[in-house]
């Protein structure tokens, strides 16, 4: 256990206490019983917390209608898997839908507890899992969304991400070795030159970097491919930090073992007394990065090479919306914009159809909550461009629409201080009708300081807060600017606080004109003259 953590259960905080009483994963064996009991009769700790070990989230906003968070290694699924997810939410009619998340993942909504055994059987049949996707577990592992397609990629992250997930979850069966971490944990692997995964905001991230192999035996130095390792990145209501270098370089073959070692150190020494100070960075603060690295090396049973002097992230970040050539001759990938990541059963069936008809049946997701359909032959592109689904999921959306990201917000999340997804969509439409743009502007909405919508990585980040207007409490936002992604990524900072949402549009309009080169549309000028 930790240096500072308390050791008797009596002194543990509520979360540590219930984890010590019963491993969250044991809930897996109780699904049949829970399903027959129903959500109102079941144990409240099981309902509110332990079910998250199998990816099932009680929603106090919609009691009885649960959310399920999947695992999608590298954000990839098949059309068959998408159809299974669609069937699950279809059953719930208007209550059912799905969201693509900021971790290249899918969440399903409207789930009734009595359906869980059947749902898990369906998942099992097509190789899907939702295990260990919530609470003090490792979240979906992100990888390059165009891994294996991109002619300029440095490493195809797909297999590595899958290997890490298999190790952490015992191939989706659940792995009690990693089901009692001090807090959540995020892992990302960048494989391209543009850091498509936001490596810097993960607890553990790998970014491509070459190392010169020594001039042994009079040979010319050779470049060896590997990854520099970053640790400790996280957002929370209390504190947000970009990841810092562990000063380690590893080959791809060393990554699974390194993930395991880092997680063991975090599990056994991470701070557990105060949940606001439990993420990995707090342990690194307490120990210093040198001691942390030494502990990791000790777990690994070997010392690691120091980081390569420079990494290979030297491109601006791509958003993958539109049509792009793949490295495979004659094939293309198409990025579809999914407004704020929201999908309904019909959309999911349609996306599965599209992947089958035009591509190879594969579907991918991005951390911007969009979809990529790969492996589309040149000769099918023309027909694809006439597909009615593109009217809903555009390949050429407006400059604000294309980069819009939004967390769940008040519709389903009880932490939310504001409604986000609908408001974000309406606001962007209004601004696009007022202004013209020369480049996309990345606007991220997040309903509360937990920052699931990552406002700190955006050009303009909007974080839900309570504001005051005419002496009354109203929904408002704090505004962040300056988030930089891709090359030289760094976090944005808060520049304005407590703007009532109803007064936000002109504030954003001015910001877009002054800082992002937007211009009022001609019609707008005419009406204001």
Catalytic positions are 69, 183-184, 447, 452-453
* Residue 54 binds ligand SRM, judged by CB under 6 A: no
Contact 401, 357 (CB under 8 A): no
25 closest CA partner among 125, 142, 104, 130: 130
The helix/strand/coil state of 231 is: strand
- Shorter beta-carbon distance to ligand SRM: residue 449 or 500: 449
Choose, by CB under 6 A, the member of 258, 407, 485, 491 that binds ligand SF4: 407
- Site size toward ligand SF4 (CB under 6 A) is 13
Spatial distance between the Cα atoms of 339 and 4, rounded to a whole number of angstroms? 45
39: left (phi over 0), alpha (psi -120 to 50) or beta: alpha
- Shorter beta-carbon distance to ligand SRM: residue 103 or 364: 103
7 closest CA partner among 286, 267, 273, 274: 273
* Both tokens assigned to 58: 């009680």
* Residue 186 binds ligand SRM, judged by CB under 6 A: yes
List C-alpha distances in Å: 51 to 7, 24, 44, 130, 270.
Answer: 25, 7, 10, 11, 23
Partner in contact with 454, chosen from ligand SRM, ligand SF4, none, beta carbon below 5 to 8 Å by kind: ligand SRM
Choose, by CB under 6 A, the member of 447, 461, 476, 500 that binds ligand SF4: 447
Long-range contacts of 517-526 (CB under 8 A, 24+ apart): 517/437, 517/438, 517/439, 518/435, 518/436, 518/437, 518/441, 519/435, 519/436, 519/437, 520/434, 520/435, 520/436, 521/433, 521/434, 521/435, 521/436, 524/434, 524/435
CB of 323 to ligand SF4, least distance (A): 32
Choose, by CB under 6 A, the member of 68, 149, 405, 413 that binds ligand SF4: 413
- Helix extents (H) in 155-253: 158-169
Partner in contact with 448, chosen from ligand SF4, ligand SRM, none, beta carbon below 5 to 8 Å by kind: ligand SF4
Contact 477, 508 (CB under 8 A): no
* Residue 255 binds ligand SF4, judged by CB under 6 A: no
* Residue 67 binds ligand SRM, judged by CB under 6 A: yes
* Residue 259 binds ligand SF4, judged by CB under 6 A: no
**Part in contact with ligand SRM (CB under 6 A); list of ranges 38-46, 301-309, 428-436, 445-453:** 445-453
What's 374's DSSP letter? E
* Residue 407 binds ligand SRM, judged by CB under 6 A: yes
* Residue 139 binds ligand SRM, judged by CB under 6 A: yes
- Shorter beta-carbon distance to ligand SRM: residue 24 or 226: 24
Spatial distance between the Cα atoms of 297 and 460, rounded to a whole number of angstroms? 40
* Residue 5 binds ligand SRM, judged by CB under 6 A: no
* Residue 101 binds ligand SRM, judged by CB under 6 A: yes
- Shorter beta-carbon distance to ligand SRM: residue 81 or 375: 81
Spatial distance between the Cα atoms of 240 and 238, rounded to a whole number of angstroms? 7
The residues that touch ligand SRM, with contacts defined as CB under 6 A, are: 57, 59, 67, 69, 99, 101-103, 105, 107, 139-140, 183-184, 186, 201, 234-237, 279, 407-408, 412-415, 450-452, 454
The residues that touch ligand SF4, with contacts defined as CB under 6 A, are: 407-409, 413, 415-416, 446-448, 450-453
């Amino acid at each position: 256990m930790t240096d500072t953590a308390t050791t008797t259960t009596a002194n543990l905080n509520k979360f540590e206490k219930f984890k010590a009483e019963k491993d969250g994963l044991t809930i897996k064996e109780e699904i049949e019983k829970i399903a027959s009991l129903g959500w109102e009769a079941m144990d409240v700790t099981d309902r509110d917390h332990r079910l998250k070990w199998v990816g099932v989230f009680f929603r106090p906003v919609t009691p009885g209608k649960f959310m399920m968070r999947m695992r999608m290694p590298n954000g990839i699924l098949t059309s068959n898997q998408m159809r299974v997810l669609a069937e699950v939410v279809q059953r719930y009619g208007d209550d059912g839908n799905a969201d693509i998340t900021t971790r290249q993942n899918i969440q399903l909504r409207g789930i009734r507890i009595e359906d869980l055994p059947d749902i898990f059987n369906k998942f099992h049949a097509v190789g899907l899992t939702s295990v260990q996707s919530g609470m003090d577990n490792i979240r979906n592992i992100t990888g390059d969304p165009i891994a294996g397609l991109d002619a300029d990629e440095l490493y195809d992250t797909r297999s590595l991400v899958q290997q890490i997930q298999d190790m952490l979850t015992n191939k989706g069966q659940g792995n009690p070795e990693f089901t009692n971490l001090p807090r959540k944990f995020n892992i990302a692997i960048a494989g391209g030159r543009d850091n498509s995964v936001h490596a810097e905001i993960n607890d553990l991230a790998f970014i491509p970097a070459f190392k010169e192999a020594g001039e042994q035996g009079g040979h010319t130095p050779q470049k060896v491919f590997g990854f520099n390792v970053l640790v400790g990145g996280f957002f929370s209501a209390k504190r947000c930090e970009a990841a810092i270098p562990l000063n380690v370089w590893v080959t791809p073959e060393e990554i699974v073992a390194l993930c395991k070692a880092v997680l063991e150190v975090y599990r056994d020494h991470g701070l557990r007394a105060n949940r606001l100070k439990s993420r990995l960075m707090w342990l690194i603060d307490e120990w210093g990065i040198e001691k942390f690295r030494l502990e990791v090396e000790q777990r690994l049973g070997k010392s690691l090479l120091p980081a390569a002097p420079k990494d290979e992230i030297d491109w601006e970040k791509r958003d993958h919306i539109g049509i792009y050539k793949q490295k495979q001759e004659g094939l293309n990938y198409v990025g579809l914009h999914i407004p704020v990541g929201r999908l309904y059963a019909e959309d999911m069936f349609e996306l599965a159809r599209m992947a089958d008809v035009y591509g190879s049946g594969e579907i991918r997701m991005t951390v911007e909550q969009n979809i990529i359909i790969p492996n589309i032959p040149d000769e099918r592109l023309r027909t694809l461009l006439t597909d009615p689904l593109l009217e809903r999921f555009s390949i050429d959306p407006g400059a604000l629409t294309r980069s819009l990201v939004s967390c769940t917000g008040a519709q389903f999340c009880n932490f939310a201080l504001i409604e986000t997804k609908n408001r974000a969509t309406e606001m962007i439409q209004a601004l696009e009708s007022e202004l013209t743009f020369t480049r996309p502007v990345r606007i991220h909405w997040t309903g509360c300081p937990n920052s699931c919508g990552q406002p700190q990585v955006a050009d303009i980040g909007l974080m839900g807060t309570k504001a005051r207007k005419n002496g009354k409490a109203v929904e408002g936002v704090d505004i962040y600017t300056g988030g930089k992604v891709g090359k030289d990524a760094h976090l944005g900072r808060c520049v304005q606080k407590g703007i009532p949402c109803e007064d936000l549009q002109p504030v954003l309009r001015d910001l877009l004109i002054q800082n992002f080169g937007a211009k009022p549309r001609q019609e707008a000028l005419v009406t204001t003259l």
